[in-house]
Copies of this chain bind each other. A is one copy, B any other.
Amino acid sequence: MANARKADYLKETVQHIDIAKHNVVPLVDAMGRMAFQARNLSRAAKIYDQMLADKDCAVILCLAGSLFSAGLKRIVYDLLQNNMIDVIVSTGANIVDQDFFEALGFKHYIGTTAVDDRQLRAARVDRIYDTFIDEDELGVCDKTISDIASTLPSRPHSSREFLAEMGKYLVKRAKAKDSVILAAHEKGVPIFVPAFSDCSAGFGILHHQWHNPDSHLSIDSAKDFVELTKIKLACKDTGLLMIGGGVPKNFAQDIVVAAEMIDREPVMHKYAVQVTVADERDGALSGSTLKEACSWGKVDVTYEQMVFSEATLALPLIAGYAYHKGSWKARPARRLSSVLDEEVLAGARR
């Protein structure tokens, strides 16, 4: 009965949008001659294209919010395949609960907000606004993380290291081809999830630690910060493409100050774009202006743009614009993971 009811909710799947199919360049250019958020979005798209044309600039993509469940995963996959991003900093939901989950063969379903959540609870269906998820499939995702953890050495790992192992795991086992974790693994793009326990990975590693109390791996978020700072130091210039705020925005901005703390003159992020529905009125970082970030010495104000929009509307236009402009075609894969893998090798030798 409960299964029957679950099937009633899980019928039509969310489909990821394919930016290659929609040449939005004329539309976004036209928006640049309008006003308000259309103009802001257009300028943001042009700044992103500028990052890609700048030979010295590494692009850091920051992701917060439930973006992949909403059909935005394939955009990030395409950005990876086309060397349009060099680093990802994300919340765990996107990368583990949603990308890894789909790589295991599961799907997100078109739902509705007009529903009694107690009935969903009874049917073991989880809701994200208008999207439904099979709670038992999420449990499989959690358990797979636990299994991977149990194959790894009992030492502190950065989230990036653990995600690299998840990438390796998927090489042979991925049931969906468009996995961001897998593509990042193959393209040498490091993924950081600074609050790695705050998602399905947290459940999996909790399971691992609980059942292996005396010897287990741990997730060292400080190591993430060290590693991302090393990447900043290894790049001449950097640009931020931020979808949502939260920990990824703050974390990626902070590496400028971290680099300054370590050993050299600070080099602010040269470019910065943020898409968000938040605003500055509550003083929280998620909606704070990029101008405010300049007071902290994190972001230069010359090429910065806030776009006040929900991401499913804005990201297809911004990413699609840069894709069809094609500045990325002359851009090599930076494979920044290699910077850190060498460190790891060195560390292993110690």
Contact = CB atoms under 8 A, between A and B. Distances in A.
Given A196-B221, A284-B65, A24 B27 contact: yes
A70 interface: yes
A169 interface: no
A12 to B, nearest CB: 8
A20 to B, nearest CB: 11
Contacts of A128: 35, 283, 288, 292
A37 interface: yes
A7 interface: no
Give the number of times this chain occurs in the complex, counting copies: 4
Interface in A281-312: 281-286, 288, 291-297, 301, 308-312
Interface string A19-56: 00110101100110111111111000000000000000
Given A17-B31, A71-B33, A110-B33, A350 B117 contact: no
A138 B204 CA distance: 36
Contact of A312 (B39, B70, B120): B39
A205 interface: yes
Nearest to A309: B313
Contacts of A295: 117, 120-121, 125-127
Give the 5 A-B residue pairs with the shortest CB-CB distance, closest first.
A34-B71, A38-B312, A218-B220, A15-B33, A35-B70
29 contacts: A15-B33, A17-B34, A35-B130, A36-B70, A36-B281, A36-B283, A37-B313, A38-B316, A39-B130, A69-B283, A117-B301, A126-B296, A127-B292, A129-B288, A129-B292, A139-B261, A196-B221, A197-B222, A197-B251, A198-B250, A203-B258, A205-B225, A210-B262, A213-B347, A218-B222, A219-B222, A221-B221, A247-B247, A309-B309
Interface of A: 14-18, 21-22, 24, 26-27, 30-31, 33-41, 64-66, 69-72, 93, 108, 110, 113, 117-118, 120-121, 125-131, 135, 139, 142, 156, 194-198, 202-203, 205-210, 213-214, 218-226, 229, 244, 246-247, 250-251, 254, 257-258, 261-262, 277-286, 288, 291-297, 301, 308-314, 316, 347, 350
